[in-house]
Amino acid sequence: MNAAPKTLRHLSELEGARLTPPEKRAALEKVAAQYAVAITPTVEELIDRADPHDPIARQFVPDPAEILVKAEERVDPIGDHAHSPVQGIVHRYPDRVLLKLTHVCAVYCRFCFRREMVGPAAQALTPAQLDLALDYIASHSEIWEVILSGGDPLVLSARRLKQVVSRLAAMPHVKVIRVHSRVPVADPARVTAELVRALKAKGKATYVVLHANHARELTPAAREACARMVDAGIPMLSQSVLLAGVNDDPQTLAALMRALVECRIKPYYLHHGDLAPGTSHLRTSIAQGQDLMRGLRGRVSGLCQPTYVLDIPGGHGKSPVGPGYLSRDQAGRMLVEDFNGGLHCYPSQF
């Protein structure tokens, strides 16, 4: 009887699965010693071993380039620590907080902005720390939305998730619970009816934001997992990261956004790659991102348009950095650019 497929976590397992060559072992050992590795059976099946530039492999298989750290890269690229009043909480914006329930993920992305803080060796919140984090939320009436993140909160059991959601549901000022996860595409079998029920709370709006970067990630099983949540009344949004060699061409990006909308998932954010250590080989320029967003406009449905954002290093939050469509001519008249690049005068006193 064959053993059930398991998540690949060690270089020897990656070599056995023909995902990394033995001759790169020495270089990859340095990577694996610093950054967590995990590739679920679902993700492994998606990797095209005949393609040396496979966009799925590029996201999850460690690369010797991760050892190269640029001067501008930071251990905490979006400044979580500067806005963490208690362990597990990031309170960057006035009306919402991030609650990092776990530091473990089903898979570990090679571009992760928290790559220095996540992995099996990272410490999860203790019960006492979780109590303090929830007490912080309870004592701050300006908090309207709580975002469950990590790590990936959907690696937790339905029982543990229900406990946290129930405690948040008891706080009158918390109206929205948002869950950020890669689990529906990385390990869709985890999205059980019990887990879906655990995410819902009477009188609160629950949203799930799926992280997906390539249309191939939306397998039939992933689509079914997402459908279980949407059919249960949980709206879904998406966040994607713009990645060199993964989704940095108009056709691939459009295919991803269309696939998400077909799954009843509204594209929300397209993130510019953060300045995480060892990720420069996966980052594009902002100008490339703006060109891609300009290419989407008018060529795919408005439902398929995410907001292109940059998380400002140092903890200053996200800013939209998409292309602009307004300018002025020499006479000071306002010009509006259409999706074909044509300019049109618009009468305006501003």
Residues that are catalytic: 92-93, 96, 105, 109, 112, 114, 274, 311, 318
List, as one string, the DSSP characters of 161-213: HHHHHHHHHT-TT--EEEEEESHHHH-GGG--HHHHHHH--TTSEEEEEEE--
What residues contact 102, with CB distance under 8 A and at least 6 apart?
124, 125, 150, 151, 152, 153, 155, 156
- Match 């998730």 to its residue by tokens: 161
266: nearest Cα among 293, 306, 215:
306
Instruction: Identify the sign of the CA torsion 68, 73, 78, 82.
Output: positive
What tokens were used for 211?
């992280």
Q: Do 309 and 270 meet the contact criterion of CB atoms below 8 Å apart? A: yes
Euclidean distance between CA atoms 124 and 112, whole angstroms: 18
